[in-house]
Amino acid sequence: MTFTRKALLTFGVAAAAFVLAGAQTTFAQDKKTYVFATEGAYPPFNMTSPTGELQGFEIELIAEIAKRSGFEAKVISQAWDGMIQGLVDGKYNGAIDAVTITDKRKEVVNFSLPYTTGGSNFVVLKDSGTELPGNGSNIDLADKAAAEAAVADIAKALSGKTVGVQVSTIQSTFLTQYLADKGVTIRTYQNGPDVYQDLTNGRIDAAMAATTNIAAFLKKNADKAATTGPSFKGGVMGSGAAVAVQKNDTELKPLLDKALKSMSEDGTLSAMSQKWFGLDVTPKL
């Protein structure tokens, strides 16, 4: 069989295209995979659908980060209590579960740039008779005088009452440090939904959680529940949520930071926040 010059050229182009396609396929298959842990029970940050699918702000966030960074992201469900320890032990590469940046946590893990600005509130049932002073104000725990005054007023209003909170959270730390010795009973729960269930059923007088998490609860319960008292940030409340990575990591954090910065600059991060929270809770990076 003889080939004309044109046929040989056509065959050569086709062969080159085949090789290039094969190289691209190989590259895609060899894409680095990072494993991230999330709770799957902290809406709207992360939640599990009835079919077992992980959904929420952080699930969409990490997918976009992976897309921009050129890696594959595998997200697995883990209980919140022990999630940081699991990261320290190397069970996964990162934790994306509204993990707030605090000095104590920075002793054992590292953090990406923050993707939310933080803030924590109290929530009560409207007909409970529990109302805290300072409603709508913002208290930075770094301002010692303002913090002490606000805590004293809240302690007086909650004296003899029970506040529910998820275990091992910054809110749990706050309540233990500031209110546990002032006549306020602190009841801890393994996950956030259980806190709200007991609040709704009248088993606790108030609950404390991240402002964004409470907003998701109020979306479905605005007729019977409301926030009360000031919003707290700073100090033990940290400085916003970020992806936690291993302390010695030098590979993943730069990818996360670069992607988050570009998402902040082009408005993607803000748009995601509006979609899931109904307001922009993202910092300008």
* pLDDT level of residue 11 (50, 70, 90 thresholds): very low
What string of DSSP letters covers the chain?
Answer: ----HHHHHHHHHHHHHHHHHHHHHHHHHT--EEEEEE-SEETTTEEE-TTS-EESHHHHHHHHHHHHHT-EEEEEE--STTHHHHHHTTSSSEE-SS-B--TTGGGTEEE---SS---EEEEEETTS----SSTT-EEETTSHHHHHHHHHHHHHHHTT-EEEEETTSHHHHHHHHHTTTTT-EEEEESSHHHHHHHHHTTSSSEEEEEHHHHHHHHHHHTTTEEEEEEEEESGGG-S-B--EEETT-SSHHHHHHHHHHHHHHTTHHHHHHHHHHSS------
Mean pLDDT of 107-126: 95
Q: Is the pLDDT of residue 7 over 70?
A: no
pLDDT band at residue 29 under the 50/70/90 scheme: low
Fold held by 120-237: D-Maltodextrin-Binding Protein; domain 2 (3.40.190)
- For domain 31-117+239-277, the CATH superfamily is Periplasmic binding protein-like II (3.40.190.10)
Every domain of the chain with CATH number 3.40.190.10 lies at 31-117+239-277, 120-237
Q: Global pTM?
A: 0.76
40-44, 91-95, 266-270: which has the minimum mean pLDDT? 40-44
In the predicted model, what is the mean pLDDT of the chain? 90
Beta bridge partner(s), residue 139: 232
pLDDT of residue 278: 87
Does residue 179 register a pLDDT over 70? yes
- For residue 4, what pLDDT is reported? 41
pLDDT in tens, 60-110: 999 999 999 999 999 999 999 999 999 999 999 999 999 999 999 999 999
pLDDT tens for 232-246 read 999 999 889 999 999
Write the pLDDT tens digit of every residue in 197-227: 999 999 999 999 999 899 889 989 999 999 9
What percentage of residues in the chain have a pLDDT greater than 70?
A: 90
Asked if 189 contacts 201 with a C-beta cutoff of 8 angstroms, the reply is: no
pLDDT tens, 90-99? 999 999 999 9
Nearest to 242 by CA among 62, 71, 11, 39: 62
| Number of Cβ atoms within 10 Å of the Cβ of 147 | 18
Sheet holding 33-38, edge to edge: 72-77, 33-38, 94-95, 244-246, 109-111
**What distance in Å separates the CA atoms of residue 6 and residue 11, rounded to the nearest whole number?**
9
d(CA 20, CA 22): 5
Rounded CA separation 141/159 (Å): 21
Q: Say if residue 190's pLDDT is above 70.
A: yes
**CB 182 within 8 Å of CB 172:** no
pLDDT digits (tens, 9 = 90+) for 257-267: 999 999 999 99
Name residue 230's beta-bridge partners: none
% of the chain exceeding 90 in pLDDT: 83
